[in-house]
Amino acid sequence: MSIGPYHYLGLAAALFAIGVIGVVTRRNAIGVLIGVELMLNAANINLVAFSRFSGGLDAQIFAIFVIVIAAAEAAVALAIILQLFEKRSDVDVDRARTLRG
């Protein structure tokens, strides 16, 4: 069985779905952050796969950008979580409802 684009896309879709479920269902902020990272990497897999099968390098460069942004995002998100913990002594996102209308 030769490995084709559908395999990559399928893997990426599965990974993205796992990420989404993580973000939506987890109450722990760290868990939510991990879900987000999964979703980003699912997108990266897609980019790299399309690059491999279409022949250009543009998409791979996008992938590198995404990795950089993900790193920055992780740094910002972890800082927010730390602040949250400072204030409330937990990291339960369901209890952080200050924005409720």
Quote the least distance from Cβ 59 to other proteins, whole Å. Answer: 21
The SS3 of residue 60 is: helix
Nearer to other proteins, 58 or 92 (CB): 92
Contacts to other proteins by CB under 8 A:
20, 23-25, 32, 93-94, 96-101
Measured from the CB atom, the residue of 32 and 43 that comes closer to other proteins is 32
Chain-centre distance for alpha carbon 38? 4
Q: How far is the CB of 99 from other proteins (least distance, A)?
A: 4
Give CA separation, 45 vs 5, 23, 31, 70, in Å: 11, 19, 21, 14
Nearest to 20 by CA among 4, 1, 42: 42
Question: C-beta of 34: minimal distance to other proteins in Å?
Answer: 14
